[in-house]
Chain A
Amino acid sequence: MSKRQVVLLATAFAAVAVFSTLSFLLVNTAPQGKPLKNFTAPFVYGRFAIPPDNPLTEEGVELGRRLFYDPRLSSNNQVSCSTCHQQSLAFTDGLTGSVGVSGKPLAFNSMSLANLLWGPQFFFWNGRSDSLEQQALIPLQHPDEMGQDLDELVQELEQDTTYRQLFRIAYGGISAETIAKALASFQRTLVSANSRYDQFLRGEIQLTEQEEWGRKLFMAHPDTKASLRGGNCIDCHSQFLTSGFNTKFDGFINNGLDDEANLSPGLAEVTGNEAHRGVFKTPTLRNIAVTAPYMHDGRFQTLEQVLKHYNGGIKPSKTLSPLIAEADNLGNFSDGKISLNLREEEAQAIIAFLHTLTDETFLTDPRFSNPFSDKAK
């Protein structure tokens, strides 16, 4: 080996060493994300907890927003999270079953992503995901949704300077885990708190007579002995302003969509408990007027159809919620038909109230919009 060759070899080794060190530092730098500023959430919705290992940071949220809207997260680079979770529809997609990379409609309706801060566990209609971080990677890999291989995705993102920088600052590097953390962080900031009902709660406006009547019906369980008429909504939708429940499987119920023979597995698919057949997560009602179609399988196209279901369409089964089975404004339990027996004008009042839950600010908030769109740029 000539002297020149030795020098070249030594230089090459040195270059590799420097590159390796730099790469190591780039990939493994300690996160330096700044705590998220100018973020407040309504106190009245109750407490929420952010995972200690994934605090909300400016960079983490920005990163999550980019990832959320980036079609490169799918195997064909055409489907992003926002394909099935569109801001103008309160992060739903208006379809009975969402359509991803396979082109096959899914069996389930896209869920709204509003106010996930207050429903920190048991995501998806059947509660199969324990955390937002865990949830984030499931549709990414699902063959019908985004069909993405996570290792390939990490490699793909490594090629993007912006992602490399943001990931380094926010989380120290790119990995499946940090992708999930970023997506979860962005979704946690999707706070909807300026509907007419929020403004009512803050004392800023009055509801109309019909809306107020609907509110009262919404909040009441019918009691014929006390001459109290009610829509029985609050029994299951006690967390209707947020997106879930804190305690165990609270909020998972069978609302009588199917009879015994046709019950879907629902929560039983997760727990293995027969008593959970046909039991699904009670969704938020925030922005419900823009999140049609309704129910876990999107079987109802309108709120009128939903009310009609509770007003005579309930199918009995072993796991039907007793709160629904026992709710009857006429007390006609003996006729074998389960129905709220609401009057038409009462159903309309409830629907009017539900419309007060639409939050136009949320639906158009630029902080939640597509960062790749011309408008955002």
Chain B
Amino acid sequence: MTITKFIPCVACLSLLLACSQAPEPAVADFNSEKTQGLVLLSGLPALGTKDSLAIVELDPESAKFGEILYEYELPEFDAPLHHLYYSPSGRLYATGLGTQCSLAEVKLVRSASGAPAVNDVDCLNTHGQVVGEDIMWHAVDGTQYMFVTFMGGTGLDQADGGSVGVFNSQNNELVTIIEARKSVVGEGQPYIMYPHGISAYEDRMVVSSTVHPDLATGVGNAVTVIDLNTFEPIENIITEEAKPVGFPSSPVEVLFVRPSIVAGAQPAVLVNTMFGFETWKIPYNAEAKTFGTPEKLYDGAAAGTGVPLEFYGNEEELFISHAIPGVVKRYSLKDLPDLVSSGEDIQAELGAHHMIFFETASGRKLIAIQNNLLNLGNAQDNDPTDVDFIAKLNDHSVTVHDLITGERLGAVNFKAKFNKGIDNIEALFGSGFVHHH
């Protein structure tokens, strides 16, 4: 069965064509690195290429648009690195979908010409935790930790595995593993299974229960609440209604809406369900520290979208990517935790996933969207790691759009141009977004 059978009709393209007056260019002071993206690229086995970390120019106004300005070949791991994150102190980390390097620190330096370069990729000791997904830095009782979700937990052979690694954010050493397998804790007890998305507010953390890394053994349908005072799971909340593809809902990314993101906002957790095609809101009472009944805010099956993935925010809007048909929906930040549309969808490509925001030398505000779900191979290319339905959600491109109008200004197809897939995008100069979960 393939998910693509359930691809709903693509919503009509209706771009806003309102013109914006570009401010006077300030080229002399312009930091050109603001338009450069840091991308994780996957070698495609049948095309003879290797995994790499590259810096690519994404300013459509630049003569170098779409060019790789710098590339660092990564060691051969059993699965690609998948996510990049800048820590609050500017250190760069990557999570990996395999077992050999599930969490790494990437050491960036500058050469004598000032050009950025990778000095080293240091795979960190996760103490057996595998398939790293998301990272969040969060302070507990005044101490900052690096929390990492490991969808494979402490072993891929576990049918109900999954863990949250708590690391010392200074020296990267493991502090503790938060793990609560269903088969261990017993029926009715709070569990952690295949955690992927992660978000936190004060002393409460939520992680999603997505899918076993082998994409076959099991699929989750809940989020887990973790008490950060004890580092113990205390509650599971199911976010599932329709099953448009017949699988459990597979919550993927979560966003704890909190006052630091939206001043005065009523705290709540937003949840995207990968196979449920839905976005949910779980209200949170910060005084009582209780979560309310989940409410479905968005139904992709009805609205013609599927596989909602990421939450990204800038100062004014929240953006949610939907891999099917490849759109980014936009919502007013001030209205969170409710989803109030702030404009037309940005029409990307199949697999719309990660994104960054930046400004060009001429002052134009842009969004670049990575259109690729996962690089696990493609039967058409005789890739040994093929997972067909995922391959169909891989356009292998980054599309660049005017942030205000959504107009597409350019596209870079990494498979066509470099024989590689693209796993992640991050802005070279800082994170390229304000909020990301």
B residues near A (Cβ < 8 Å) are 29, 31-33, 89-91, 105, 108-114, 116-117, 119, 169-172, 429
Instruction: Determine which of B29, B110, B119, B171 lies in contact with A204 in the assembled complex, contact meaning CB atoms within 8 Å.
Output: B171
Nearest B residue (CB) for A204 = B171
A49 contact set on B, CB distance < 8 A: 114
Verify A50–B109 contact, CB threshold 8 A: no
Q: A47-B429, A49-B114, A56-B112 are in contact. List 10 more A-B contacts (CB 8 A).
A: A43-B108, A44-B90, A47-B31, A47-B110, A47-B114, A48-B110, A50-B113, A202-B91, A246-B29, A247-B29
Least Cβ distance of A285 to chain B in Å? Answer: 17
| CB of A272 within 8 Å of the partner chain | no
Give chain A residues whose Cβ lies under 8 Å from the Cβ of B32.
Answer: 47
Interface range, A side: 20 to 34
Chain A residue contacts of B429, Cβ below 8 A: 47
B112 touches A47 (CB 8 A): no
B110 touches A36 (CB 8 A): no
Find the residue from A40, A41, A48, A56 having the highest chain B CB count within 10 A.
Answer: A40
Separation of A281 and B110 alpha carbons in the complex (Å): 26
Interface of B, secondary structure class, is loop
What residues of B have a CB within 8 angstroms of the CB of A204 in the complex? 171
Chain A residues engaging chain B, CB cutoff 8 angstroms: 35-37, 39-44, 47-50, 55-56, 117, 200-206, 246-248
Nearest CB on B from A89, distance (A): 26
**A42→B171 contact, CB < 8 A:** no
A206 touches B170 (CB 8 A): yes
Sort A-B residue pairs by CB-CB distance and give the 10 closest, nearest first: A43-B108, A40-B109, A44-B90, A39-B112, A36-B112, A56-B112, A41-B110, A48-B114, A203-B170, A247-B29
Residues on B with beta carbons closer than 8 Å to the beta carbon of A246? 29, 31
The interface residues of chain A lying within 8 Å CB-to-CB of B109 are: 40-43
Contacts of B114 in A (CB 8 A): 41, 47-50, 117
Given A44-B90, A246-B29, A248-B29, are A39 and B170 also a contact pair (CB < 8 Å)? no
Tell me if A47 and B113 are in contact (CB < 8 A).
no
Could you say which residues of chain B place their CB within 8 Å of the CB of A55? 112-113
In the complex, residue of chain B having the shortest beta-carbon distance to the beta carbon of A36: B112
Q: How far is the CA of A204 from the CA of B105 in the complex (A)?
A: 13
Interface contact B112-A203, CB-CB below 8 Å: no
Measured between C-beta atoms, what is the minimum distance from A140 to chain B in Å? 25
Are the C-beta atoms of A39 and B171 separated by less than 8 Å? no
Chain B's closest residue to A58 (CB) is: B112
CB neighbours (8 Å) of A117 from chain B are 114
CA separation between A41 and B109, bound complex, in Å?
6
21 contacts between A and B (CB under 8 A): A35-B112, A40-B110, A42-B109, A42-B110, A43-B108, A44-B89, A47-B31, A47-B32, A47-B33, A47-B429, A48-B114, A49-B114, A50-B113, A50-B114, A200-B170, A201-B91, A203-B91, A203-B105, A203-B169, A203-B170, A205-B170
**CB proximity of B14 to chain A, nearest CB, Å:** 39
